[in-house]
Amino acid sequence: MIGYGHNLEQIVDGAIHLKQVHKADLQFGDLVLITTRNSVYSAYVLDNSLYLVSGGWFDRKGMSPKKTTITGCTWGGSIIKMDILAACGLHLEFGNRVVTTTVRQVSVIRVSSHN
């Protein structure tokens, strides 16, 4: 586990310093590119908290592109931050319970116009 502290409050407080993408900041059509230690994922934002995901585990299983939810990010254990889509230093967890290796880079390509 990354050294964010020893209790839940310290871990959550440390999360504000991470480069992260909040789910609430995304709109339909946005593309999020996520590079983990072992893979690259692309996630198009759809309706109702759904994403069209390709890459990594989904490619290896022949399931790309896959419509799925993204639960949030973990520190490698059972604590999950559900308001973020991806954050550097954490592990992305998909709705099917697949957890990625550590996120190294995350970027958003705005396809739709945001007001």
Q: What is the pLDDT of residues 99-114, one digit of tens each?
A: 999 999 999 999 866 5
Q: Report which DSSP code applies to 56.
A: H
Nearest to 89 by CA among 11, 19, 8, 12: 19
Instruction: Determine if the pTM surpasses 0.85.
Output: no
Share above pLDDT 70 across residues of the chain, in percent, rounded to a whole number: 82
**H-type alpha helices, the chain:** 8-15, 56-60
